[in-house]
Amino acid sequence: MTAGNDETEGRPPIFHSMIAGGLGGTTGDMLMHSLDTVKTRQQGDPHFPPKYSTFGSSYYTIWRQEGIRRGLYGGWLPAMMGSFPGTVLFFGTYEWSKRHMLDYGVQAHISYLTAGFLGDFAASIVYVPSEVLKTRLQLQGRFNNPHFKSGYNYRSTFDAARTIVRKEGITELFSGYKATLYRDLPFSALQFMFYEQFQSWAREWKDSRDLGVRLELLTGAAGGGLAGVLTCPLDVVKTRLQTQIDPVPVPVLSKPKDRATTNTQSGIKESTAKQTMSTTTSSSQIRPISTSSPSTSLPRPGAIPLDEDSIIKGLRVIYKTEGIGGWFRGVGPRFVWTSVQSGCMLFLYQTILRQLETWVPGERKEMAN
């Protein structure tokens, strides 16, 4: 099996893979963070009609109105804090499990696919809480943002974490955990299966293990971009689960508040009834997003909260209210982000591995023996 033999010919130490993956992954994430912000704004925009539509106009609007640091790069700190340890865990688990499966004779594509699943599952304990913080801060923009009302208004990353834990509980940091796994496990598995296959084809075509800069970037970008498009519907569900507020009944604390509580609950029932009526009687009125404003427990007209217990139900709700276009909202920036980020990350990964080999030349030979 050619792919397996290629793997055995040059296996760097797993520690080298972890360091190279951590540095490459974090660098790629930071380079493409602004595109991820645009994608998050498009998917989580609670306004009707939506403020952000096309990728180019959305990017320019955020840059012009909110700037780079607080606008396009809002949420960069939690992204970086989750990216490095997450990619370190991912590449360590991926390389270890992939090598063992190949050594036991498991078919190459199955090994790559399974190792991608296992690697992302190991990393999820780190990146999911950071993903919640990052997503909310990206949707919010700067503090007291006059240009976009997301419903969130945190002063900083640490204020966001403290506020979420105090008001919503620590489990809220794992909001959308299942949806994130449903998105990222298939994405990572497909990304690395495509990448390894594209690498194998490129080596056969060039008849060399040294592919050069262009092919290294192209194979990484193709694997990430293709996987990103295929998993876009799951990404939409994940984003909305992490930014929506579940409608909860207001507790009765004292008698003076009974009237307000009754009014609020009747308002919820009335809103629900109107929402159901508008959904059944007017098929032309399509809600482009499924996220209610986090500033209130009352959903905006047409907004249907997604059920976190079922990803399939979430996909069905989006399809019924928005059509297939709802599944692929933000697919443009997601494709650009995943392809460029994947190309940069995997190119840097291979480059750093080669550099580490020159610094510690003996270890790779020992691994090969």
76-103 vs 157-168: helix crossing angle, rounded to 10 = 80
- The residue count of the chain comes to 369
Tokens 């489990």 belong to residue: 171
Nearest CA to 112 out of 234, 227, 214 is that of 227
Nearest CA to 248 out of 168, 318, 176, 140 is that of 168
Q: 108: which 2 tokens?
A: 């190459």
CA 249-252-254 angle, to 5 degrees, is 160
Are residues 215 and 317 in contact, defined by beta-carbon separation less than 8 angstroms? no
Neighbouring CB atoms inside 10 A of 297's CB total 16
Angstrom distance (rounded) from CA 59 to CA 40: 11
Tokens 């970037």 belong to residue: 217
Separation in Å, CA 358 to CA 24, 74, 366: 18, 38, 14
- In single-letter form, the type of residue at position 296 comes to T
Q: What is the pLDDT of residue 322?
A: 80
Q: What is the pLDDT of residue 7?
A: 56
Tokens 């392809």 belong to residue: 339
Nearest CA to 150 out of 292, 52, 48 is that of 292
Angstrom distance (rounded) from CA 119 to CA 110: 14
Angstrom distance (rounded) from CA 152 to CA 168: 13
Angstrom distance (rounded) from CA 237 to CA 294: 16
Q: What is the pLDDT of residue 273?
A: 46
- Dihedral, 5, 6, 11, 12 alpha carbons, nearest 10: 180
Give the pTM: 0.69
- In single-letter form, the type of residue at position 270 comes to E
Q: Taking the alpha carbons of 142, 76, 59, 36 in that order, is the dihedral positive or negative? A: negative
Are residues 17 and 91 in contact, defined by beta-carbon separation less than 8 angstroms? yes
Q: What is the pLDDT of residue 93?
A: 94
Cα atoms found within 13 Å of the Cα of residue 51, Cβ hemisphere only: 18
Q: What is the pLDDT of residue 194?
A: 93
Neighbouring CB atoms inside 10 A of 273's CB total 10
* CB neighbour list of residue 87: distance below 8 Å, 6 or more residues apart: 21, 22, 24, 25, 26, 123, 345
Per-residue pLDDT of the chain (369 residues; tens, 9 = 90+): 344 455 555 688 889 999 999 998 898 889 888 888 887 887 777 766 777 777 788 888 889 888 888 888 988 999 999 999 999 999 999 999 999 999 999 998 899 999 999 999 999 888 888 888 898 888 887 888 777 877 788 888 899 889 989 988 888 888 768 767 877 888 988 999 999 999 989 988 988 888 888 899 999 999 999 999 998 888 888 777 766 655 554 444 444 444 444 444 444 444 444 444 444 433 333 333 322 223 222 333 344 566 555 678 888 888 888 888 888 887 887 888 789 889 988 999 989 988 888 877 644 444 444
Largest Cα–Cα distance of the chain, in whole Å? 80
Angstrom distance (rounded) from CA 299 to CA 291: 8
* CB neighbour list of residue 174: distance below 8 Å, 6 or more residues apart: 128, 129, 132
Angstrom distance (rounded) from CA 191 to CA 201: 15
Count helices and strands in the chain by DSSP H and E runs: 15, 0
Angstrom distance (rounded) from CA 164 to CA 284: 37
Coarse DSSP helix, strand, coil percentages of the chain, rounded to the nearest 5 percent: 75, 0, 25
